[in-house]
């Protein structure tokens, strides 16, 4: 995954009711695909890693 490039999960399908993520050295940014002009939520690297581990059942 390239830094600063937005990605939508392949699990999202073709609907627009999902989120996009861009990962970078400091963590990740998350935004709503329908309202990308509204900005994004920045998540620090440690918290992003913990979230992903929890979602994968590794917490």
What confidence score (pLDDT) does residue 58 get?
78
* Domain locations in the chain as residue ranges: 18-42
Give 7-56 pLDDT, tens digit per residue: 987 777 776 678 899 999 999 999 998 898 999 999 999 999 999 999 99
- Please state, in angstroms and rounded to a whole number, the distance separating the CA atoms of residues 25 and 37: 23
What confidence score (pLDDT) does residue 8 get?
87
Contact (Cβ atoms closer than 8 angstroms) between residue 32 and residue 15:
no
What confidence score (pLDDT) does residue 11 get?
75
Stronger pLDDT, 52 or 3, i.e. the higher one: 52
Whether residue 1 is predicted with pLDDT greater than 60 in this model: the reply is: no
Tokens 């963590």 found at: 27
């Amino acid at each position: 995954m390239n830094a600063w490039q937005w990605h939508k999960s392949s699990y999202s399908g073709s609907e627009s009711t999902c989120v996009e993520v861009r990962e970078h050295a400091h963590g990740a940014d998350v935004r709503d695909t329908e309202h990308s002009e509204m900005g994004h939520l920045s998540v620090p690297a440690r918290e992003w890693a913990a979230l992903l581990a929890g979602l994968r059942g590794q917490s």
